Amino acid sequence: MEIKNRFSISAKRMSRSVIRELLKLANKPDIISFAGGLPSPETFPSEDLLDITREVMQKSARVALQYGSTEGVLPLRDLLISFLGKYGFNIKPEELIITTASQQSLDLVAKIFIDRSDPIIVENPSYLGALSAFKTYGCRFLTVDMDEQGLCTDKLRLQLEELKRTAGEGSQYYQNMPKFIYTIPDFQNPTGITMSLARRKELLEIASEYDMIIVEDVPYRWLRYQGEEPPMLGAMDTEGRVVNLFTFSKILSPGMRLGWVRANPVIIDKIVQAKQATDLCTSPLTQKLAEEFIRRDLLEKRIAANIELYRHKQEAMMAALEKYMPKAKGLSWVKPEGGMFLWITLPPEMDADEMFKEAIDRKVAYVVGSAFYPNGGGHNTMRLNFSYPSEEDIDEGIQRLAGVVKSRL
Amino acid sequence: MEIKNRFSISAKRMSRSVIRELLKLANKPDIISFAGGLPSPETFPSEDLLDITREVMQKSARVALQYGSTEGVLPLRDLLISFLGKYGFNIKPEELIITTASQQSLDLVAKIFIDRSDPIIVENPSYLGALSAFKTYGCRFLTVDMDEQGLCTDKLRLQLEELKRTAGEGSQYYQNMPKFIYTIPDFQNPTGITMSLARRKELLEIASEYDMIIVEDVPYRWLRYQGEEPPMLGAMDTEGRVVNLFTFSKILSPGMRLGWVRANPVIIDKIVQAKQATDLCTSPLTQKLAEEFIRRDLLEKRIAANIELYRHKQEAMMAALEKYMPKAKGLSWVKPEGGMFLWITLPPEMDADEMFKEAIDRKVAYVVGSAFYPNGGGHNTMRLNFSYPSEEDIDEGIQRLAGVVKSRL
């Protein structure tokens, strides 16, 4: 029977993620893959979680295995409020909701704000999963370039000024201006860049001036290997205009599918309504596990151990790049202060998309940088993940990749 | 700051579920609540799940705690394919996806089919969670009445014939006709009615004649306390037009947030795309637990034990209704062959919405039937849940409820 003609406009806009299809290629056992964004399985606290499961099944199976409230398990929300208290947040319970990990947070934020053809502002390049979540709702992407200090706030200001001219006033203004500015200030995905304190202040000032909402995605915050951490935008915000997306995926386990959103209560209330119709509630079972994990002070220990592990992996990748990559004009990378990725810029005449097949033939995989540019470009860039592969594979894989690059110089 | 003016059209359409707000009232400890739709905590296999967690954490923590594929954990999908094989299904792997429970399945089905103001057909009354999932996408509800045999197929045919007249042809036809027919054939929520075999056949014939998709929601299938079970529409369908929504919530645990969808591969492929942007994947941890639960042959034992427990609770509620409810013209209920609910019709002049406050004062709660009528009506109906309360509470609660009804006759 004919089905395609029945699909919604939004469904017709969807496609299988290019990256996910590429990742399938990269999944063959003899390929060393720098393509994913997976945490290392060494970081999974399976014994602790088993021990915690014992306690949860004995003491609170009636909560853990039952339906829960859409807002999330109360003691977990309280613990997260305390946790964020250490980072300058002062959060009321109605400002926080547990979600089924950050991809759901991105989807819910998109759902409550984006109507078809609404503009939103993203860094160029930006996280692919966010771009797909937003695209489903038919937004237009307005991109703002980044430099080594993060989002170029001067360029942002110019764009907003231009938009303001024709935006109208009152409710018109809010419908015509970008619905929000999406940013990943810490160790940005894919570039690894951290937004400087000066830029953070300026971004908040601009947001205030043009009355904008900022969606601050904070997945890598607790993976800092060097340097001092600037405060989060959300912690600096005095006007309730920052929405923070947090996840357990990089600090505990992605398989538990847990994240949380902190925002203005009006926004949280609308997210609760959207989530009710979307998946009713996040798993109380995985929530209770996370709750007890935090209560036992295991989260901060886990974070410290992750940092130690990933710092070494990052250094291994930096060393391998130094060792194997040819010295060539236009070929460069920068050491990020944290996160899971290195961003490689190839000479402008090289094409990482086209090079991908050869890399696979040589048994090494990466993510083509162009996938992160919502409006095109970036064909001479690629993203390498260092959190998942072993140090041996990092050395061997970079050697293979350098071979591919050399052959094309 | 002003936020409401920025919300999307879809977000402006959302509201906190009336029922969920009523349920909060019903959550006070001294109130006997027949309002929820919760499984009894006695049915939660916490010891088995702990034992299974031990095995999963020892043998497959690297899968369980990592990101998984959007389609779901492969061995679980294979086990579900075998499970449904016993019920007349012959399913290929590309026809099945694991979801984050049925509310997500409802959301994804709505997302891939419904554009604003598209008509869809629902039973009148129908499941509230489905109605809210669909409503978010801005559909119009065309309702078809039910009788004791289920959906009135003759009325459905008349409606479709009427719609067909102005629907046009080709892709126009698919855009103008209802995107799908949503039905809960077994122990329908809220009425408890099971669709007869004759009606099932006729529904499939009508769907074929008007080239319609049927969404068959099957949450209560494995809660049958008496009578013979007719085959599922999906198992009778030879044309790939039935989409089946299944859930673990009523047979294992709602807290694990697990369901699955079986459909035509073209539909499953689009659901995969939609889910990728929505929550990436369902928790591999809870999937691995369910997988091992089925592999150990615990699911069918659990189903048998649930049936035993709920049958008694249903009988307790039937007995209490007989014992306490006044005999009055127009006051009636029917014993469903399974499920979790009894549906009470009050005399037409009585209003269950307005009676609710008095019931709460008398420390008993129900769900107002009107909530299940998408286009209004049903004010003299109410839904009572018997799976959650104890037999003692059922007796006491029905006595209280009968008191309220009596006082208003």
- B133 touches B217 (CB < 8 A): no
Residues 6+ apart with CB under 8 A from A158: none
Closest C-alpha among A184, A236, A176, A186 to residue A211: A176
**Residues B241, A1: C-beta atoms closer than 8 Å:** yes
pLDDT at site A201: 98
**Residues A41, B62: C-beta atoms closer than 8 Å:** yes
Q: How far is CA B22 from the centre of its chain?
A: 19
| pLDDT surpasses 90 at B73 | yes
Pairing of strands B242-247, B214-217: parallel
Q: Is A12 on the interface with B (CB under 8 A)?
A: no
- A262 touches A246 (CB < 8 A): yes
pLDDT at site A24: 74
- A119 touches A139 (CB < 8 A): yes
- Residue A230 is encoded by which pair of tokens? 């600037």
Residues of A in contact with B5 (CB under 8 A): 170-171, 174-175
pLDDT at site A344: 98
pLDDT at site A325: 98
Nearest chain A residue to B180 by CA: give it: A6
- Calpha distance A64→B285 (Å, rounded): 14
Kindly state the percentage of chain A with pLDDT values over 90.
94
Please report, for residues A256, A280, B17, B38, the alpha-carbon distance to residue A70 in angstroms, rounded to integers and kept in the order given: 17, 6, 11, 15
Q: How far is CA A84 from the centre of its chain?
A: 18
- Calpha distance B36→A175 (Å, rounded): 39
Q: Which CATH architecture fits B4-44+301-408?
A: Alpha-Beta Complex (3.90)
- Calpha distance A188→A409 (Å, rounded): 28
The mean pLDDT value for B181-196 works out to: 98
| pLDDT surpasses 90 at B78 | yes
- Calpha distance B102→A142 (Å, rounded): 36
**DSSP for residue B338:** B
- Calpha distance B166→B119 (Å, rounded): 14
- Give the nearest partner residue to B7 out of A61, A64, A113, using CB atoms: A113
Q: Which helix (H) or strand (E) holds A140?
A: strand A140-147
The DSSP bridge partners found for residue A216 are A183, A244
The string of DSSP letters for A58-107 reads HH-HHHHTS---TT--HHHHHHHHHHHHTTT----GGGEEEESHHHHHHH
Closest C-alpha among B222, B234, B221 to residue B267: B234
Chain A interface test: which of B53, B115, B282 (most A C-beta within 10 Å): B53
Total residues belonging to chain B: 409
Q: Is B92 on the interface with A (CB under 8 A)?
A: no
CA of B259, closest CA in chain A: separation in Å? Answer: 11
**Residues B3, A264: C-beta atoms closer than 8 Å:** yes
Closest C-alpha among A367, A371, A362 to residue A30: A362
The mean pLDDT value for A120-140 works out to: 96
- Calpha distance B208→B199 (Å, rounded): 14
Nearest chain B residue to A24 by CA: give it: B69
Please report, for residues A7, A99, A218, A267, the alpha-carbon distance to residue A271 in angstroms, rounded to integers and kept in the order given: 26, 10, 18, 6
Question: What is the overall mean pLDDT for chain A?
Answer: 96
Residues 6+ apart with CB under 8 A from B342: B192, B314, B317, B318, B321, B333, B335, B336, B383, B384, B386
Please report, for residues A48, B90, B254, B273, the alpha-carbon distance to residue B45 in angstroms, rounded to integers and kept in the order given: 21, 29, 12, 33
Of A18-27, A90-99, A361-370, the range with the lowest mean pLDDT is A18-27
Residues of B in contact with A174 (CB under 8 A): 2, 5-6
Please report, for residues B61, B161, B213, B341, the alpha-carbon distance to residue B240 in angstroms, rounded to integers and kept in the order given: 37, 22, 9, 31
- Whether the model clears a pTM of 0.90, i.e. scores above it, the answer is yes
AA letter at B351: D
**Residues A277, B135: C-beta atoms closer than 8 Å:** yes
Q: Which helix (H) or strand (E) holds A392?
A: helix A391-408
Chain A interface test: which of B50, B55, B257 (most A C-beta within 10 Å): B257
The mean pLDDT value for A276-294 works out to: 97
Peptide bond preceding A125 in cis form (omega within 30 of 0): yes
- Calpha distance A343→B358 (Å, rounded): 65
pLDDT tens digits, B265-282: 999 999 999 999 999 999
The DSSP bridge partners found for residue B150 are B147
pLDDT at site B15: 82
Residues 6+ apart with CB under 8 A from B302: B43, B45, B251, B252, B293
CB-based burial of residue B197 (10 Å sphere; 0-12 exposed, 13-18 middle, 19+ buried)?
middle
The DSSP bridge partners found for residue B243 are B215
For chain B, the domains span 4-44+301-408, 46-296
**DSSP for residue B97:** E
First to last CA, chain A: 51
The string of DSSP letters for A313-330 reads HHHHHHHHHHHHSPP-TT
User: For B275-333, what is the HEC assignment?
Assistant: HHHHHCCCCHHHHHHHHHHHHCCHHHHHHHHHHHHHHHHHHHHHHHHHHHCCCCCCCEE
The DSSP bridge partners found for residue A384 are A342
CA of B255, closest CA in chain A: separation in Å? Answer: 4
CA of A94, closest CA in chain B: separation in Å? Answer: 14
| pLDDT surpasses 80 at A19 | no
Q: Which helix (H) or strand (E) holds B397?
A: helix B391-408
| HSE-CB for B210 with a 13 A CA cutoff | 27
pLDDT tens digits, A41-80: 999 999 999 999 999 999 999 999 999 999 999 999 999 9
**Residues A65, B256: C-beta atoms closer than 8 Å:** yes
CATH number for the segment(s) A46-298: 3.40.640.10
Residues 6+ apart with CB under 8 A from A70: A97, A272, A275, A276, A280, A281, B20
**DSSP for residue A307:** H
| pLDDT surpasses 90 at B245 | yes
- Residue A26 is encoded by which pair of tokens? 């990269």
Closest C-alpha among A384, A380, A388 to residue A398: A384
CA of B228, closest CA in chain A: separation in Å? Answer: 30
Residues 6+ apart with CB under 8 A from B211: A1, A2, B173, B174, B177, B241
Phi, psi of A233 (to 5 degrees): -55, -45
* Confidence category of residue A28, pLDDT binned at 50, 70, 90: confident
Q: Is A255 on the interface with B (CB under 8 A)?
A: yes
Residues of B in contact with A267 (CB under 8 A): 3
pLDDT tens digits, A325-343: 999 999 999 999 999 999 9
| pLDDT surpasses 90 at B191 | yes
The mean pLDDT value for A252-257 works out to: 98
| pLDDT surpasses 80 at A16 | no
CA of B408, closest CA in chain A: separation in Å? Answer: 34
Residues of A in contact with B20 (CB under 8 A): 70, 276
Interface of A with B in 159-198 (CB under 8 A): 170-171, 174-175, 179
Q: Is A402 on the interface with B (CB under 8 A)?
A: no
Q: Is A114 on the interface with B (CB under 8 A)?
A: yes
- Residue A346 is encoded by which pair of tokens? 């190839």
Chain A interface test: which of B7, B69, B281 (most A C-beta within 10 Å): B7
- Residue B272 is encoded by which pair of tokens? 């995969």
pLDDT at site A15: 82
AA letter at B24: K
Closest C-alpha among A166, A242, A231, A170 to residue A206: A242
Nearest chain B residue to A288 by CA: give it: B255
* Confidence category of residue A25, pLDDT binned at 50, 70, 90: confident
- B316 touches B283 (CB < 8 A): no
AA letter at A287: Q
CA of B289, closest CA in chain A: separation in Å? Answer: 11
Strand order in the sheet with B96-99: B96-99, B259-262, B242-247, B214-217, B181-183, B119-124, B140-147, B150-151
DSSP H helices in B5-126: 9-13, 18-26, 46-59, 61-64, 74-85, 101-113
CA of A206, closest CA in chain B: separation in Å? Answer: 15
Q: Is A54 on the interface with B (CB under 8 A)?
A: yes
| Crossing angle of the two packed helices A352-361 and A18-26, in degrees rounded to 10 | 20
CB-based burial of residue B75 (10 Å sphere; 0-12 exposed, 13-18 middle, 19+ buried)?
middle
| pLDDT surpasses 80 at B106 | yes
Interface of B with A in 282-311 (CB under 8 A): 282-286
pLDDT at site B29: 85
Fold of B46-296: Aspartate Aminotransferase; domain 2 (3.40.640)
* Confidence category of residue A154, pLDDT binned at 50, 70, 90: very high
Q: Which stretch, A26-30, A169-173, B158-162, has highest mean pLDDT?
A: B158-162
Residues of B in contact with A7 (CB under 8 A): 112-113, 270
Q: Is A354 on the interface with B (CB under 8 A)?
A: no
The mean pLDDT value for B37-41 works out to: 95
- Calpha distance A352→A360 (Å, rounded): 12
- A208 touches A242 (CB < 8 A): no
Closest C-alpha among B231, B159, B219, B235 to residue B195: B231
